[in-house]
Amino acid sequence: MPQYRYQASANDGKVTVGMLSADSVAGAATVLRGQGLHVLSLSPAASAAATGIGEFLKRANSRKPTAKDVLDFTTQLAVMIRAGINLRAALDGIADQTTHAQFKKVVTSLKDDVESGKQFSEAIAKYPKLFGPLYVSMVQASEMSGSFSEMLNRIAAYMSQEMETRKMVIGASIYPGIIGGLAVSVTVFLLSFVLPRFYTVFEGKEDVLPWATNFLMGLSLFLTSEWPFIVGGVVAVVGMFIVVVKTDVGSFWIDKLKITVPGLRGMFQSLYISRSLETMGQLINAGVPMLDTLRITGDITGNQLYKGMWHRVHSSVKQGRKITGPLIKDGLMPKSVVQMIAAGEESGKLGEVLDEISTYYTKRLKDQIKTATSMIEPIMIVLMGSVVGFIAMAIILPIFKMSQLVS
């Protein structure tokens, strides 16, 4: 029988709230009136399933805001400001349209801060995980120069480029990971479930079996008998690796490997150069002071070696020296790039030069990722086929020889 939630008042004015079972809404109202109550509200109670779905949707919508949410917000705000809508009204409109519960609270908070007289840069600085130092610095510069909507467009373009680059790098690493995982899974399956079926066939004939068959039989026996220790060892190694990588020393050596290992060096070098120079160019063109620009550039590079290089550049410029000195000394930047930066610094067009260099290295990064992906595919297929073929031949050859002896 359906459940109904009611709110009713008694003759003495006391209001009661509760649940009751009835065939229909009219039946529920009749029951309440029969108890001497005046019905104030009466509605079907939400079922457990509906409540569960509602809670699930609510939890799904309570996820933390992402860079995509910030990019959409920035793009909408730029369009509304360019259309002549004042900042407070624009934030109010975006807050009403935002369906993401957590981000809606952020936008509402920004609107309240702006209404209270704070600068927009002060309001967004309260959320450093969403609006990083680059975002805040560019907004501060636009507030002083009066180019707010143009700066928002520039920030949105920068964020879009960063997201595209990140997707390319992640996509290039996912594919070989999937192929490698499949190769390992197939190999383990063959050694753990297929080869043990042939133990009885090969038992007692180890002296006449090929070395490959004996090797695989020993490996298969080891896997099937010691698998708990193997799994535990793999988990321990992976866990230790994750812990080490999170330390300063571990992350430093990982970052160093990225720019020294052949095959990876060119791709990661292009990534760090394009990211740092694009950031630096955007900040300089926005009118952000050079020292703040260098500090922010170092913080967003994503590699400790490049971060240290830019911080040394920051210290050098702070002492009144030129940018190119530490760049030449560290050797992390190609000489041609350092020469172009020096030329831009001398001519007073450093921002334009940095934009051109970053555009070139972004294109170069895309080409390197495409090349690496196209090379990885056949290499992984050949390796996987070689492993599976080796196991298959190690099983088939002895059986073929034994069948010949029998005949």
Which run of H or E residues covers position 86?
Answer: none
Over 70: is that where the pLDDT of 244 sits?
A: yes
Task: Look at residue 51 in the predicted model and tell me its pLDDT.
Answer: 45
Residue 4 β-bridge partners? 20, 44
How far, in Å, CA of 110 to CA of 121, rounded? 10
Instruction: Considering only residues 96 and 43, tell me which one the structure prediction assigns the higher pLDDT.
Output: 96
| Rounded average pLDDT over 126-140 | 87
Q: Which of 35-39, 120-124, 279-283 has the lowest mean pLDDT?
A: 35-39
pLDDT of residue 57: 47
| Model pLDDT, residue 48 | 40
The domain segmentation of the chain, as residue ranges, is 3-45, 67-161, 184-407
pTM greater than 0.75: no
- Distances, alpha carbon 292 to alpha carbons 94, 141, 272, in Å: 31, 11, 19
Res 62: pLDDT: 55
**What percent of the chain has pLDDT above 90?**
10
Instruction: State pLDDT tens for residues 164-184.
Output: 888 877 877 777 778 778 878
pLDDT interval class at 50 (50, 70, 90): very low
Q: Once rounded to an integer, what is the mean pLDDT over residues 344-366?
A: 89
- Measure the CA–CA gap between 377 and 379, rounded to whole angstroms: 6
pLDDT of residue 55: 47
SS3 81: helix
Of 52-61, 133-142, 308-317, which range is least confident? 52-61
pLDDT digits (tens, 9 = 90+) for 359-405: 899 899 888 888 877 787 788 788 888 888 888 888 787 777 666 65
Helix (H, G, I), strand (E, B) or coil at 143: helix
Both tokens assigned to 342: 């020096």
| Segment 259-286 mean pLDDT | 87
Determine the pLDDT at residue 158.
Answer: 85
Phi then psi for residue 390, to 5 deg, are -60, -45
Most confident of 96-100, 259-263, 273-277: 273-277
Domain 67-161 has CATH 3.40.50.2300: no
Range 184-407 classified under CATH 3.40.50.2300: no
At CA 163, angle to CA 161 and CA 165, rounded to 5?
Answer: 70
pLDDT at 237 over 90: yes
State the average pLDDT over residues 81-105: 86
Distance (Å, rounded) from C-alpha 334 to C-alpha 128? 33
Lowest mean pLDDT among 25-39, 128-142, 206-220, 240-254: 25-39
Average pLDDT over residues 40-50: 55
DSSP result, 52-77: HHHHHHHHHTTSPP-HHHHHHHHHHH
Q: Confidence class of residue 407 from pLDDT cuts 50, 70 and 90?
A: low
Q: Is the pLDDT reported for residue 15 higher than 80?
A: no
The band of 43, judged by pLDDT with boundaries at 50, 70 and 90, is low
